[in-house]
Amino acid sequence: MNYNGLCKLMKVEKRSYKIFPCLVFLLILLSLGCDRPEPETGVDNILIEEDLEEVDLEPKPMTLPIVPPAPIIDKSSRVTILGYHQISDKGSPSEMRISVGKFRSQMQALSDAGVKVISFKDFLKWKSNEEPIPEMCVIITVDDGYDDLYDNALPILREFNYPFTFYLYTDFLGGSGRTLNSSEVKELLASGGELGSHSVSHDFLVRAKRNFKDDLSYNNWLIKEIKGSKVSLEEKFGTTVSSFAYPYGEYSDFLANEVEAAGYVSAVTVNGAKANYKSSIFELPRYIIHGNNDINWKAGTSFGGGGRISEVQGSSKPSKIPRVWPLPKAEIVNRLPVIRVDLSEYENIDSKEIVMKVTGFGSVPTEFDELTGILKWQATRRLRVKRHSVYLSFVDPSNGRAESFTWSFFVNLEAFYLPEYKDKIKFEKESADRVFSDQ
């Protein structure tokens, strides 16, 4: 049979004959099979023994490195810094002297209201995003260094377990029978107190410049007052002095820079406002408690809808409420205002007995017109903060009783940049004149 006949027999078309030989070859291989080598029968399997380590098959939990979670910092917290001077059990309360009973009732009111008292260190850690603080809290500070801080206030602070900061000026320390001595300061530190500086002499640090012939002499004196007091206190008591209290609350940008350069990390004023996360660390506001007068206490411990502290009994109010300018709680645009008080209801008032203090300026030199009874003070530099408080004390000639009161007003700090600024200033002056128009 020829090749074509074979193709017909296999029913393969002629056009596929080229691959047919390959198929035939594969069929031959399959029919023959593959020669595979047989395993050797003369060799025994050898068992290799190995020393195996014992394995503990008990399940154990995996230990992961402990990473503490980052603290959650509530930047909306508000902090009231209270400022005291003397806490006395002798004599009558005065501008800077609060009675022991009154002081204790205020500490009790904080406790009853559940308002947390924190230390300055706690506050600074919050400002540095290290630790949280309560939404509403209080810092207690005491200025000058009277021995009644140790005799009268410390037992009360210990009773409530309240931390506190006390500011000393070195010329006053141990200077007489009514000042703290070294052993009392050490016990205050051991009882939770933090030591701050109040300068060397407690002089006005800004206006004192007029007493020096040149800038170099003034700057050398200023360094001694600020840095010198810090170094002296730290060496004497073996502690870090990190906070500074401006004497009389008087400060400026230049002074704040000097305080920072001296190595302090904070400074407090007498500006009556609450401190917050954005408060300048070298212009921290404080509510100064003026004797048994509750005005600043109420303002400082009122937290709006979040927790108002109950009123403390025994507040003193002037028998006659004088007219003032700027009006209480009013907003003004003039950052160089003339502050006026009408004291004409008090006949024969002694101007030497009048004391006025203004936020950011401390005690200010006033002008008193005995004929009209109008007291004035012209701001000597632009007001720097939004809220300002004015404290006034004097003696009522009719009964010899010390009178005092405080009011606050607000400053629109952005108004200066408005095109109608001059018109607003003129309107304010006319409004002030109308308030006192009958004089």
Domain boundaries, the chain: 84-306, 324-435
Q: Distance of CA 220 to CAs 57, 197, 204, 213, 225, Å?
A: 77, 18, 15, 12, 9
Question: Is residue 99 packed enough to be buried (19+ CB in 10 Å), middle (13-18) or exposed (0-12)?
Answer: buried
Distance CA 314, CA 405 (A): 14
With contact defined as beta carbons under 8 Å apart, do 109 and 310 qualify? yes
Query: Among 84, 137, 88, 77, which Cα is nearest to 111's?
Result: 137
Q: Where are the alpha helices (DSSP H) in 301-435?
A: 421-435
Model-level pTM?
0.62
The string of DSSP letters for 92-153 reads: --BTTEEEHHHHHHHHHHHHHHTPEE--HHHHHHHHTTSS---SEEEEEEEEETBTHIIIII
Q: Tokens for 167?
A: 């500011």
Specify whether the backbone of 263 is left (phi greater than 0), alpha (psi in -120 to 50) or beta.
Answer: left
Q: Tokens for 189?
A: 């530190």
Each residue's pLDDT, cut to its tens digit, for the chain (439 residues) gives 555 554 555 554 445 455 556 555 656 655 555 555 555 554 455 555 555 556 566 766 766 666 666 667 778 889 999 999 999 877 777 788 899 989 998 998 998 888 999 999 999 999 999 999 998 899 999 999 999 999 999 999 998 999 999 999 999 988 767 899 999 999 999 999 999 999 999 999 999 999 999 999 999 999 999 999 999 999 999 999 999 999 999 999 999 999 999 999 999 999 988 999 999 999 999 999 988 888 889 888 887 644 445 443 333 445 556 788 898 888 898 999 999 999 988 888 888 888 888 877 878 899 999 889 899 999 988 888 888 888 888 888 888 777 777 788 889 888 877 888 888 888 888 888 887 765 4
- Quick one: DSSP state of residue 202? -
Task: Assess whether the previous peptide bond of 21 is cis (omega < 30° from 0).
Answer: no
Q: Distance of CA 18 to CAs 21, 23, 201, 286, Å?
A: 7, 10, 120, 108
Count the residues in the chain. 439
The string of DSSP letters for 227-292 reads: IIHHHHHHHHHSS---EEE-GGG---HHHHHHHHHTT-SEEE----S-B-TTS-TTSB--EE--TT
Tell which CATH architecture fits domain 324-435.
Sandwich (2.60)
CATH class of 84-306: alpha beta
